[in-house]
Amino acid sequence: MSPSSRATPMLGASGLLALLTLTGAALAAEPAADYRPFPLLGGRLALWAAAQLHLNFAAFILGVPLFALIVEAIGWRTKDPRYDRMAREFTKLTFAAFSTTAILGALLTFLLVGLYPKFFGFLSGIFYPTMWGYAFLFFGETFALYLYWYSWDRLRTRKGWHLLLGLLLNLFGLAIMAIANSWGTFMMSPAGLDEAGRLVSLWAAVNNPTWMPINVHRLIANVSFGGALVAAYAGTKFLGARDAAARAHYDWMGYVGNFIATSALMVLPFAGYWLGREIYAFNQQMGITMMGGFLSWLWIIQAVLIGVLFLGSNYYLWLGMARIRGAERYRPYVKWLLLILTAGFLVWATPHSLVASLEEARRMGGAHHPVLGVLGVMSAKNTAVNLMILTTFLSLLLYRRANREAVVAWAAWGKAAQWLCLAAAAALVLFYGIYGYFVEAIVRIGFSVYQVLAVLATILLVTAIDLALFRKATSLGPIAWGHIAPRAQYVLVLLAVTFTWLMGLMGFARSAIRQHWHVYGVLRDTSPDAFTPALGYAANVVSVVTAVFLLLLVFIFWLAALGEEQAPVGRPADLPAGER
């Protein structure tokens, strides 16, 4: 371990000690209470901040190893050492953040035990056996990370074994995530209890209605989040680079990070839709609170942020085309792609009802705008998001083939089949989006499944055709890595900040739908904080914690860089084969 890696847990431990001292005084003052206060912040706010920080770091150390394993496997398959170097650099970032994640996890547990003893006693009474599993898996993940990191050089000629260690590390991490998810989702959709709240089945409590949807949702989100953060890391390195070789290296690294983040982002809305559907199925009132109640305006903010993610990801790809010889032929398509994305973003961000004065409501004839109100329903929004996903996929497709020319005999037919698939999917999405206005709500909900299946099937089919079509393609010229507008790197930073903020807001939404319940319908929150905060207050808290997380991440990256040797990163000509 480098000196910088050892510094992180030492600094974290000092901060933890100070907090323990402050909180210890509060515990001593009220030893028998169901709830205990926390100095200055209050119990709920302290727990909220610790939980959000811990989950952000947990998502980072779960997402980046997945990302690194994929990149290392590509390097092993292509025999290109640049991929291996990039995977190693990402793993180093994970190594530096691992200790901070563990310290924040310990802090979160301490706050739960100390400030909410009755609630923690109830939860541990249900999930006590799984807590042993969590501890065992955490040791396993730690040792797997050490083995993965320290055996990198020793297993250089036996890459299969090293990839196996990376796979083991990720399996431990995913298992830990699944156990922690069971605790959180049980609070939202409890199961496995009798009418008196006693445990009947531990497996039913773990496998509660929202457990598997959130496992899938967080797995995809962590990959996307990890990709966005390492792309932002590469972007800042690019901006600070002093020579062309370094800029070329970090430009390529940022592209790979953004590519994986965008690829995962395209399927993330589908996982989110599944989670929302299960919440509705478990408790309709909870679903109404989430989508149509006081949290409905939170979804407008979510729509804006997701619109920023889609527009930013596409804009980065379009800027990147400027460094690819042959991409000029696809430039005329960009304005149409931008038009579709902008229209979809505006539809998605249109609220169903408006906050208006009495006079304004009378002039509109109600809470809904007479023209734009028709765009506020889910039929329009499902259509918009599916078309935005198809458009983003098309941007990736054009970028991938920008400097390539297919040489297979069936090239013309293959390209025509791809365009036909995309057009058919768009037509089907539009058809069900319009038809949804003429049927009952229960029928309309089912249409979204057809739209999702059409888009997913098209992405898979068109990708399969593309891989065969360009397998032995000729190159129109090298990619001029490092020759990209600096604003593209700022876009990468913007995407990472947006991802982090979005995660915090959606975490608040999942907790807020429980309202005054610790465990929905089972254990009531009787503390002075048993109310749902206003959206403005929640947004401020999430924003402050997001800023603290990003500052901590920058500090950890700086610590990790302290031990780096100032070695040249390589020549631009050493970039991956086929991408020069």
Kindly report, residue by residue over 444-491, the tens digit of the pLDDT. Answer: 777 888 888 899 999 999 999 999 998 888 888 888 888 899 999 999
424/272: higher pLDDT: 424
Please report the sign of the dihedral spanned by the C-alpha atoms of residue 266, residue 50, residue 105, residue 276. negative
**Residues contacting residue 210 through CB under 8 Å, at least 6 positions apart:** 185, 188, 189, 275, 278, 279, 282
- DSSP secondary structure of 158-197: -HHHHHHHHHHHHHHHHHHHHHHHHHHHHHHS--SB-TTS
Of 88, 396, 68, whose CA–CA distance to 257 is shortest?
A: 68
- Indicate the residue type of 229: L
Percent of the chain with pLDDT over 70: 89
How does DSSP classify residue 473? P
The mean per-residue pLDDT over the stretch 497-521 comes to 90
Please, are residues 96 and 559 in contact by the beta-carbon 8 Å criterion? yes
List phi, psi (to 5°) of 324.
-115, 120
> Looking at residue 335, what is its pLDDT?
93
The mean per-residue pLDDT over the stretch 311-339 comes to 91
Please, are residues 192 and 247 in contact by the beta-carbon 8 Å criterion? no
Q: Which residue has the tokens 């310290």?
A: 103
Of 103, 97, 86, 237, whose CA–CA distance to 556 is shortest?
A: 97
570/82: higher pLDDT: 82
- Judge whether residue 178 has pLDDT over 60: yes
The mean per-residue pLDDT over the stretch 396-405 comes to 89
Kindly report, residue by residue over 300-310, the tens digit of the pLDDT. Answer: 888 888 889 99
571/370: higher pLDDT: 370
- Indicate the residue type of 449: V
> Looking at residue 12, what is its pLDDT?
44
The average confidence (pLDDT) of the chain is 84
The mean per-residue pLDDT over the stretch 350-363 comes to 72
β-pairing, 404-405 with 474-475? Answer: antiparallel
- Judge whether residue 15 has pLDDT over 60: no
Percent of the chain with pLDDT over 90: 35
Structure confidence at residue 420 as a pLDDT band (50, 70, 90): very high
The mean per-residue pLDDT over the stretch 22-48 comes to 72
> Looking at residue 564, what is its pLDDT?
62
> Looking at residue 572, what is its pLDDT?
45
The SS3 assignment for 474 reads strand
Vertex 566: Cα angle to 562 and 572 (nearest 5): 125
Kindly report, residue by residue over 125-157, the tens digit of the pLDDT. Answer: 899 999 999 989 988 998 999 999 999 888 888
Chain centroid offset of residue 49 CA: 19
> Looking at residue 40, what is its pLDDT?
85
Beta bridge mates, 517 = 524
The mean per-residue pLDDT over the stretch 385-395 comes to 92
Least confident among 178-187, 242-251, 286-295, 519-528: 286-295
Q: Which residue has the tokens 């989006």?
A: 433
Structure confidence at residue 340 as a pLDDT band (50, 70, 90): very high
Least confident among 16-30, 82-96, 97-111, 507-521: 16-30
**What's the predicted TM-score (pTM) here?**
0.84
- DSSP secondary structure of 6-65: HHHHHHHHHHHHHHHHHHHHHHHH-TT-SS---TTT-HHHHHHHHHHHHHHHHHHHHHHH
Distances (CA, A) of 330 to 88, 249, 325, 335, 401: 35, 25, 11, 10, 10
Please, are residues 327 and 395 in contact by the beta-carbon 8 Å criterion? no
